[in-house]
Structure 1
């Protein structure tokens, strides 16, 4: 098994476990008076509050995101939307409310446990314009030029081959379509040992790349009008840092220039040429 395959297996295993837990369990830090025991707080310290959004479904919210891409995605009624790493369906259900009965939302996830949870959530409320497909977002089970909008929330940082994912996004978008993606990126060098910790990789931290590199990949893939719609600094609690760093390493990290950022990025697939050979492509 290659390193890339190993990392993907780690992510799949961890998120399949999380699919079997509720949001309260995932969100509860076990670092208290009894001391740190490690756990799932690494997955949710970056999440934003969805509860006031139309279409929100509490059963689908596992607290695993790092932004609210649906708030920035400029979706409209009748759009076809693809949600990458759709999990239990949180963003997909908000999106389906916006695109309405004439629209369509396709969620893609490679965790069977997450898909089962999402499909159960959809069946409970009778949603018929949202579906969830098993698949790898590096090779999406979707035809080319299918989507008006692509969404993703704190997922691409988990994928080792990010250029492959952006190439797939370009393929499945219609000409003139766009994406809005919330993700974790870095400014400065993360302590080396973090990149070796499986929990942090599955928790979105050590799989992140430099912000400049992230935006460069998007540009090199062929997207236009690239815009950072939102940016915020992620603060890692001391209780969690203590599980991975010594006291000296913690001090160096906290006083250094390294930042873990959540960004929401927008970009467009260029529209098709109106006249063959015109050179506008």
Structure 2
């Protein structure tokens, strides 16, 4: 398996490729970058089209849930979107915060940041901004956000515990997050688990569901709720690129499951995080989490 830095570079390259395609090209391919027989990018996405604030140019079909639907965003809130891609969840969040609120998208893929800023300019939004940076070391001060959202991104980050600690730091006391992500129940076959394409496609980087929830608990979050859960089925025409017919049959009938979950949790009230000067001084850092959620 590749090192953490190699995995990050793979993710950055894949999502830059998707960002640089036209919207028509992305929609013409059910898997985002390339053909369905070799890629697994859009098979997990949910339908945003009926949600207030939806913008078709910002929807690259790379999510695995609808976290903004469950995020309990209020007028005037400051919302941070991790792995903001072309801006889809940010624009939906803005519909809830209104003009008095603020939405900040963070992404480590320069092409995605550029695309998102162009979309925001076209919409005339002055309270939506996009920052290039690493969600393991967010370019944000502590106690900044009322709400954090993210759509199919943490599974792409090798250091998931580090990201959860950063979410805790940037949330205000009493703030909360709603995050859609991919998790596992049971074990993936080695051919899927070790493949770089499956990592960038949000599959092999996923961890066990109970481990995921335990990381959140261990980082002092409260009132943890799985708001939504749905199974993810990888089509056989994708699996056949990695597994034999016998292995496909064993995988499909072996009890292992891939799931999209949307998880809510709150930072306890009355806790203030002291600003980390090292993070503040490196606010322009450009390493880590992927563009646009994923899948």
Deviation at 1:128, TM superposition (A): 0.7
Q: Kindly indicate whether the alpha-carbon contact (under 8 Å) linking 1:223 and 1:268 is maintained by their aligned counterparts in 2.
A: yes
Q: Whole-Å Cα distance in 1 between the matches of residues 130 and 202 of structure 2?
A: 23
Q: Deviations over 1:163-220 (max 9, x none)?
A: 0000000000000000000000000000111122111100100000000000000000
Q: Post-superposition shift, 1:273?
A: 6.2
CA distance in 2, matches of 1:147, 1:201: 29
Post-superposition CA distance 1:119-174 (Å, at most 9, x none): 00000110111000000000000000000000000000000000000000000000
- 8 Å CA contact 1:154–1:182 kept in 2: the answer is yes
Q: Which residue of 2 aligns with 1:6?
A: 6
SS of equivalent to 1:42: coil
Structure of greater relative contact order (alpha carbons < 8 Å, 6+ residues apart): 2
- 4+ runs of 1 displaced by more than 2 Å? 22-31, 36-41
Q: Deviations over 1:80-130 (max 9, x none)?
A: 000000000000000011100000000000000000000000001101110
Alignment-derived partner of residue 227 in structure 2: 229
Match of 2:89 in 1: 91
Query: 2:27 matched to 1:21?
Result: no
Mapped partners of 2:92, 2:181: distance in 1 = 18
**8 Å contact kept, 1:38–1:243:** no
Larger radius of gyration: 1
Give secondary structure in 1 for the equivalent of 2:94: helix
Q: Is the 1:27–1:41 contact (alpha carbons within 8 Å) kept by the matching residues of 2?
A: no
Deviation at 1:260, TM superposition (A): 0.4
8 Å contact kept, 1:23–1:63: no
Distance 1:190 1:27, change over 3 A: farther
Contact persistence 2:231–2:257 (CA under 8 A): yes
Which of 139, 145, 150 in structure 2 is aligned with 1:147? Answer: 145
* 8 Å contact kept, 1:26–1:40: no
Match of 1:149, SS state, is strand
Per-residue CA deviations over 1:22-65 (Å, capped at 9, x if unaligned) read 4443344589xxxx965675110000000001100000000000
For structure 1, the residue ranges without an aligned partner over 5 or more in a row are 275-281
Q: Which of residues 138, 150, 170 is equivalent to 2:136?
A: 138
| Contact 2:37-2:238 at 8 Å conserved across structures | no
- Judging changes above 3 Å, is the alpha-carbon distance between structure 1 residues 56 and 40 closer, same or farther for their aligned structure 2 residues? farther
Separation (CA, whole Å) in 2 of partners of 1:195 and 1:109: 25
How does 1:179-194 map onto structure 2 within 5 Å? 179-194=177-192
The count of aligned residue pairs is: 269
Provide the residue aligned with 2:172 in structure 1: 174
Q: TM-score, normalised by structure 1?
A: 0.92
Give 1:200-279 correspondences, 5 Å limit: 200-272=198-270
1:270–1:37 CA distance, 2 compared to 1 (3 A): closer
Distance (whole Å) between structure 2 residues aligned to residue 236 and residue 169 of structure 1: 30
- What is the CA–CA distance in structure 2 between the aligned matches of 1:116 and 1:13, rounded to whole Å? 15
- TM-score, scaled relative to structure 2: 0.88
Task: Summarize the Cα distance change of 1:198–1:46 in structure 2 as closer, same or farther, 3 Å threshold.
Answer: same
